[in-house]
Structure 1
C-alpha cells in the first residue's frame, strides 16, 4: 500500500474526528461562549489531556511502535503478543497509581499549576477541582488506547485506531445537544460534558481492544514485571513522553498565564480547535504512518528507502499545509464568525479569537513539520535529542508568554507557542541533516520554493476575492449566506493554489504517485492491504 493511501486512511478518519470537533466547539460556543464555565471546563480538561499526550500518544507512538515492530520481525506475532502483555501489565498498574495520586492532589494542582488565576474565586476553583477529578480517569483509558493503537498501526490496521477519537466528539456533542434541548444552566452543562469525557474514554478503549483482537492478537493481563523489553521501552518512552506532549505542555503553560483574565482560556481553545483540523489531518496522519515505515526500512538496512520516505513526507506536508496556513491567516475572522458567532458568543469574542487564530496560522507549517521530522529520530531509537529540543522550546514559550501576555493578552500566548514551535522545527531539521539522516535534494528544494510562490499567488487572489465577498460575511447576515461565501472563498483559494502549483512545477501528479509509493524489497504481506 502506498504512503498516500495510508496517509489518506489515517487522515480521512482524523478529518472526520476534527469535523465532529468543529461541531462540538460550535455547540460549546453557543452554550457557554467565553464565560466563566467555559474557562472552568477547558481548564479541568486540559490536565488529563496533557497527561494523555505525555504518557500515551508521545510515549507509545515514539517508543512502543519500533520495539513492537522489532518483536514482529524477530519472533513473529507470538513474540509481539508476549511483549504487549508485559507492557500492558506494567502500564495498567502505573496508570492506576498515577490516576489515584493525581485525583488526591487535584486541589493543589489546580491552585498552583492548572489555573492559578482562579485562586481568588474559591467557587470557581472548587468546581474546576471536582470536574478534573471526574475526567482524570480518561488518562488511563487513553493511555491503554494509545498502546493498542500502536499495535494496530504496526500491523497495518490503521482505521480502528484513527476512527476511535471520533467518539469523544460524538459523545460530547450528544451531551451538549441534550443540555441545550433541556435548557440546562452553564454549571449543569459543564457536568454533562465532564461525565461525557469519561464515557468517551471507555468507548474508545473498547474500539481499539476489539480492533486488536480482530488483527489476531489477544492481550492477557500479566503480573507487572520489569523485563529487559519493558526497561528498554521506559528508557525510550520517558524522553518521548515529554517530546510528544510539547504542544500540550506549551498550552498548559499558556493556560496557567491566561487564567488571570476571564475568557482567555476559552478564546485560546476555540482558536486551537480550528488550526487543529489541518494539523490533525496532515500532521497526525504523517506521524502515525511514517514511524513504522521508517522503522521497517531502517531495520532492513535500506537507507535509501528511509531517506526517500522522509523527504517525500516533508514534501507532502508542505504541499498541503502552506495553503492551509495562508488561508487561516487571511480568513481568520470570517471563519470564526461563521463557526462560532451565535448564542453566548458575540462579535467582540469573534475579534479576539480571530486574532489568535491568525497567529496560529503562521505557525501551522512548523507544527506539522515537527510531526514529520520526529519519526526520523524515533525510528533510530533516539528519543533524547527531540526531548532536549522540546525542553528548549518550552523555555522559549514560557519566557515569551510571560513577557507578552501583559502587552497583548491572549495574542501573546499564541505568539509564544508559534515561536517555540518554529524553533523546535528548525532544530529537528538541521540536526537530521547534519547527521546525514536527511538527504538534501535540490529538486525538492526547488519544488518547495515553487510551492511558496503558489501560496503567495493564492494569498493575493484570496485578498482580492475577500474584498468582493465582504458584504456577505457581515454580522447579522443569514448563516447560510455567510457559510456559502466562506466556502466560496475557500474554493477559490484551493483552485488558485493547486492550479498554480501544477502549472509552475511545484507539484506533479506523476511525481507524487511515484515518490510516495512505498518501494519494497520483498513482496507485500497480505495484511498490508487490509483497511
Structure 2
C-alpha cells in the first residue's frame, strides 16, 4: 500500500544502491531505461555528450521544451510568451476566477525529457526556501508578476507553508510542465557546477541549479507524484506594462497628438494672415511697408543667429535626457536653462538696440541710403528688437512643455500676439486711414503713428510669452532662478549648440542675400509700375507658402521628436527609422497636394488676402507664391530628416547641409536678379529657394541613411510620394482651370477671389481624393479615418 503509485497500477522495481549516498526510493540513474515509457520516449543508453567529446555540462540538445526553464539551453521560441498558460491544463489547474487572454504563438507539446545528473525530478516537490527567509514567497507567473491572473498559478504563500497539492496531477503527467526535482540522497551538487562552460550560465529568469535535496520523514507514505511551482524570491519590482505594438497604434497616437498642435497652428496662421492683411492695408506694399517688414523680421533673424537655433533643436534631446536620468525629472536642468537664456537675451537686447542703425544697413543698403527711409526703419527696429527676449522665453518654456508631453500651448499662444497686433493696426487705420486713402509714405508718417505701431508690436510678444507660464505651472513645474550653471550639462549643450549656431548662420546668410537683392529689385520694379515685386511681397507670399509646413510637418515632428530622441538615446536605430519614415509619409498626405494647390490657386489666394494693398500688387504676390509652390515638398522633407540628426545630438551634419542650401539659394537669387527683368526677379528668387532645398534634401537623406545603417525605409517613402504626386497633377490642372474660368467671369475682386478659391479648391480636393484612393495611399486612409472618428462617424 505504501509503494509509489505511478498512475497505471504498476509498481516499479526497486532501484540499485547508489555509491554516492543513501538509497533513494525515487531516484534513478542518469541514463537508466524507464520501463514505463514508450520506445519513442526512451532516453539514450549513455550520455551522448561524452561520446562526441563534449563537455559534461555543455548545453543539452534535447532540452528544447519551451516551458522548461532549465539551465542548459536558451529559450527555443523567443517570440512566444513564456508566461502564457497551457490550453490543455487550464481546465484542470485553474485556481483563479479570471482567465488571461490566450497568447498568440505556437504552444509546444510537453514530452518527457532525458534525465541528466543536474536535471530535476518531476515527481518531487521543489526545495524549500533558503534558511533565514521570513517573508512571503511569490510563485512565478502570478498576477502580481505579470500584471494579470494566469490559470494554474496559486497565490503567494508564507515561508513555512506548503503549496496545495493537486490530487489529480498524477493522472495527467504527460501534460505537466517540466519542473525541478529533488530527492533523498546526496547525488545532486549544490550550486552551479564548477566546470560549466564560460558564458553558458543560466540567464536571469531561468530556473536555478537545484539545491540540496529535501528529505522525507522516515516511514512517510509515498504520495502520488505531483507538480508544484518552484520556490523563488518575490520580485522586487513590478514589470512594465505591455506596450501597444504596431505601426497603426503609433500612427494613431501621432495623428491625435498632432491634431491639437495643428489646430493651434492653423488658428495662429489664419490670424497671421489677418495680421499681414491689416499691415498691408495700413502701410501698403511700397517702401513704407518694407521698412516695417524689415524691422519686424530683424529681431527674428538676430534671435535665430545667436541663440534661437540651439534652443529650437539641441535642447529638446537634452531636456528629454534630463527628464529620464535626473532624480527631479529634469526640473533643475530646465530652471538653469531658463535662467541662462534670460541673462543672455537681456544682454543681447541691450546690444542690438544700440546697434540698430548698423543692423538696418546690413539688412538693406537700399533703405539705409535714403535718410527718410532709414530713420523710419531704425525707429521701428528699436521698438521691435526687445522682442528677442520674449521670443527666447516663449521657445524655452515651449520646449519644456513639449518634453513633458504638453504640445498645444506653444502652438496656440502666438494667436494672442497676432490679436494684439491686429488690434494695434486696426486702431492705426481708424486714426490715420488706409495706405490707399492717406497716401502715407516714409516722409509723411507721424512719430505718434510709428510709436503706436512699435509699442503694439512689442506688447504682442510680451503677451505671447507670459501666457505660457500657466501651462507650465499646470505640469507641476515651478520656475526658480538658478545660477549654478557649471557641471550640470549646459556646457555639453552649448558645445552641441555651436554647430547649430553655425547652421543658422549659414541659413541666415542666404536670407540676408535675398533681403538685400529683393529690396533692390523692389525699388526698381516700383519705378516700372510693378508694385508687390519687393521684399514685402516676397515675405507675404512666403507666409502663405510656409503655412502647410508649419501646421502639419512641425506639428507631426513636435510630437515625434521626444520619442525619436528617446529611441536614439537607447540606441534603437530601427525605432528612429520608423518614426522618421512615419513623419515623412504622414506629413506628405497634405504637403504634396497643397504644393500643387499653390500653383493652381496662388493668384486668387493673394488677391483675396492682400487685395487691400492694390490688385496689381496682390497679383504680383500670387506669382511669387506660384514660384515658391513646389519647393514646399523638399522643404518639408528637409525639416523631418534634420530631426533625425538632432535626435542623435549631431549638429555638425545639419550645418554642412545648410551651407550647401544657403550657397545654392544665394547663387540662384543672384542669377535671378542679374538675368531676369526687375518685375520677375523676386519670383525667380522664390524658385531658387525651392531648388536649393531640393538639392540639400538629397544630401541629407544619404547621410541619415548611412547613420541608421543604410536603411531609411526609402522604397516605402518614395512609393508614397510618387502616388501623391500622381494624384496631385490632374487635381491641380482641373482645379486651376476652374479657378481661372471663374476669375475671368467674376473679376479679381473679393467676390471673384472667393468664388475662384471655393470652386477651384473643391475640384482640386475631389479629384485628388478620388485619385489617391484608387492609388491606395494608406496614409490618406489613416488620416481620413482619424478625422471621421473625431466627428463621430
Tell whether the structures are fold-level matches, with TM greater than 0.5.
yes
Distance change >3 Å, CA 16–CA 246, structure 1 → 2 = farther
Distance 2:683 2:559 in 1: 33
Secondary structure at 1:40's aligned position in 2?
helix
Contiguous gaps of at least 5 residues in structure 1:
516-531
CA contact (8 A) 1:28 1:176 kept: yes
- Indicate the larger mover: 224-233 or 387-396: 224-233
Distance 1:246 1:459 in 2: 35
State the structure with more CA Rg: 2
CA deviation after TM superposition for structure 1 residue 415, in Å: 2.5
Distance 2:571 2:620 in 1: 52
Distance 1:498 1:487 in 2: 16
Secondary structure at 2:480's aligned position in 1?
coil
1:15-94 alignment to 2 at 5 Å? 15-55=266-306, 57-76=308-327, 78-94=328-344
CA contact (8 A) 2:608 2:754 kept: yes
The equivalent of 1:428 in structure 2 is 700
CA deviation after TM superposition for structure 1 residue 46, in Å: 1.3
Q: Cα deviation per residue 1:297-356 (whole Å; 9 max; x = unaligned)?
A: 2234433322211101111122111111111012211111122113xx223212321121
Matched, 1:480 2:751: yes
Q: Which of 719, 727, 735 is equivalent to 1:462?
A: 735
CA deviation after TM superposition for structure 1 residue 467, in Å: 4.4
CA contact (8 A) 1:389 1:428 kept: yes
Secondary structure at 1:46's aligned position in 2?
helix
Distance change >3 Å, CA 249–CA 17, structure 1 → 2 = farther
Q: Cα deviation per residue 1:129-176 (whole Å; 9 max; x = unaligned)?
A: 121111111111111211110000011111111111112211111111
CA contact (8 A) 2:595 2:632 kept: yes
CA deviation after TM superposition for structure 1 residue 392, in Å: 2.2
Distance change >3 Å, CA 150–CA 55, structure 1 → 2 = farther
CA deviation after TM superposition for structure 1 residue 220, in Å: 1.0
CA contact (8 A) 2:339 2:483 kept: yes
Greater fraction helix: 1
Matched, 1:123 2:372: yes
CA contact (8 A) 1:65 1:154 kept: yes
Distance 1:227 1:123 in 2: 51
Matched, 1:259 2:509: no
Matched, 1:9 2:260: yes
The equivalent of 1:505 in structure 2 is 776
Secondary structure at 1:216's aligned position in 2?
coil
The equivalent of 1:526 in structure 2 is none
Distance 1:177 1:511 in 2: 42
Distance 2:581 2:746 in 1: 40
CA deviation after TM superposition for structure 1 residue 481, in Å: 4.5
Q: Cα deviation per residue 1:349-386 (whole Å; 9 max; x = unaligned)?
A: 12321121111112111111122111100000101110
Matched, 1:287 2:560: no
Q: Which of 492, 496, 510 is equivalent to 1:250?
A: 510
The equivalent of 1:414 in structure 2 is 686
CA contact (8 A) 1:397 1:416 kept: yes
Q: Cα deviation per residue 1:397-428 (whole Å; 9 max; x = unaligned)?
A: 22222222133321232133222222222221
Distance 1:453 1:245 in 2: 37
Distance change >3 Å, CA 195–CA 238, structure 1 → 2 = farther
Distance change >3 Å, CA 227–CA 55, structure 1 → 2 = farther
1:210-221 alignment to 2 at 5 Å? 210-221=470-481
Cα RMSD, aligned residues only: 2.4
Q: Which of 330, 338, 347 is equivalent to 2:600?
A: 330
- Indicate the larger mover: 432-441 or 227-236: 432-441
Q: Cα deviation per residue 1:265-298 (whole Å; 9 max; x = unaligned)?
A: 1111221121121121123213322211201222
Distance 2:781 2:505 in 1: 37
The equivalent of 1:209 in structure 2 is 469
User: How many residues were matched structurally?
Assistant: 510
CA deviation after TM superposition for structure 1 residue 390, in Å: 0.9
CA deviation after TM superposition for structure 1 residue 514, in Å: 11
The equivalent of 2:404 in structure 1 is 155
CA contact (8 A) 1:250 1:417 kept: no
Distance change >3 Å, CA 69–CA 465, structure 1 → 2 = same
The equivalent of 2:646 in structure 1 is 378
Q: Cα deviation per residue 1:192-249 (whole Å; 9 max; x = unaligned)?
A: 3322221112111111122111111111112263334111111122322443577655
Secondary structure at 1:259's aligned position in 2?
helix
Distance 2:739 2:462 in 1: 45
Distance change >3 Å, CA 246–CA 275, structure 1 → 2 = farther
TM score, norm. by length of structure 2: 0.61
CA deviation after TM superposition for structure 1 residue 456, in Å: 1.2
Structure with the greater relative contact order (CA < 8 A, sep ≥ 6): 1 or 2? 1
TM score, norm. by length of structure 1: 0.90
Secondary structure at 1:381's aligned position in 2?
coil
Matched, 1:234 2:505: no
CA deviation after TM superposition for structure 1 residue 513, in Å: 9.0
Distance change >3 Å, CA 56–CA 22, structure 1 → 2 = farther
Q: Which of 437, 459, 468 is equivalent to 1:199?
A: 459
The equivalent of 1:518 in structure 2 is none
Distance 2:610 2:557 in 1: 30
CA contact (8 A) 2:573 2:708 kept: no
The equivalent of 1:521 in structure 2 is none
Distance 1:382 1:465 in 2: 47
Secondary structure at 1:439's aligned position in 2?
coil
Q: Cα deviation per residue 1:76-101 (whole Å; 9 max; x = unaligned)?
A: 4x251111122122221111111111
